[in-house]
Amino acid sequence: METTIKATNLTKSFGDFTAVDKLNFEVEKGEIFGFLGANGAGKTTAMKMLIGISKPTAGDAMVANYKVSTQADLVKKNIGYMSQKFALYDDLNIKENIQFFGGIYGLNAKTLQQKYQQVVENLGLENYVKQLVKNLPLGLKQKLAFSVALLHQPKVVFLDEPTGGVDPITRRQFWELIYEAADRGTTIFVTTHYMDEAEYCDRISMMVDGKIKALDTPKALKKEFGAETLNEVFLNLAR
Q: Where does this chain bind ligand ADP (CB under 6 A)?
A: 14, 19, 37, 39-45
Interaction partner, residue 166 (ligand ADP, Mg ion, other proteins, none; CB < 5-8 Å by kind): none
H or E stretch including 205?
Answer: strand 203-208
Binding residues for other proteins restricted to 35-74, rule: CB under 8 A: 51-55, 73
Q: Which amino acid is at 38?
A: A
Residue 22 near other proteins by CB under 8 A: no
Residue 159 zone, left/alpha/beta (φ > 0; ψ -120 to 50; rest) = beta
Q: Which of 58, 132, 177, 227 binds other proteins (CB under 8 A)?
A: 132
> What minimum distance in Å lies between the beta carbon of 208 and ligand ADP?
10
Q: How far apart are CA 137 and CA 139, in angstroms?
A: 6
What φ, ψ does residue 114 adopt, rounded to 5°? -60, -50
Cα 201–chain centre separation = 12
Q: Which amino acid type is present at position 41?
A: A
Residue from 22, 67, 86, 216 touching other proteins (CB under 8 A): that is 86
In angstroms, rounded to a whole number, what is the distance separating the alpha carbons of residues 145 and 84? 11
100 contact, one of other proteins, Mg ion, ligand ADP, none, CB 5-8 Å limit per kind: other proteins
Closest CA to 182 of 190, 191, 172, 193: 190
State which of residues 4, 11, 18, 44 lies at the interface with Mg ion (CB under 5 A).
Answer: 44
Q: Does the footprint of other proteins cover residue 137 (CB under 8 A)?
A: no
Shortest separation between residue 141's beta carbon and Mg ion, angstroms: 18
SS3 sequence, 44-108?
HHHHHHHCCCCCCCEEEEEECCEECCCCHHHHHHCEEEECCCCCCCCCCEHHHHHHHHHHCCCCC
Site for Mg ion in 163-222 (CB under 5 A): none
Binds 77: which of other proteins, ligand ADP, Mg ion, none (CB < 5-8 Å by kind): other proteins
Q: In the set 79, 133, 198, 214, which binds other proteins (CB under 8 A)?
A: 79
Positions in the binding site for other proteins (CB under 8 A): 51-55, 73, 76-77, 79, 81, 83-92, 96, 99-101, 103-106, 132
Positions in the binding site for Mg ion (CB under 5 A): 43-44
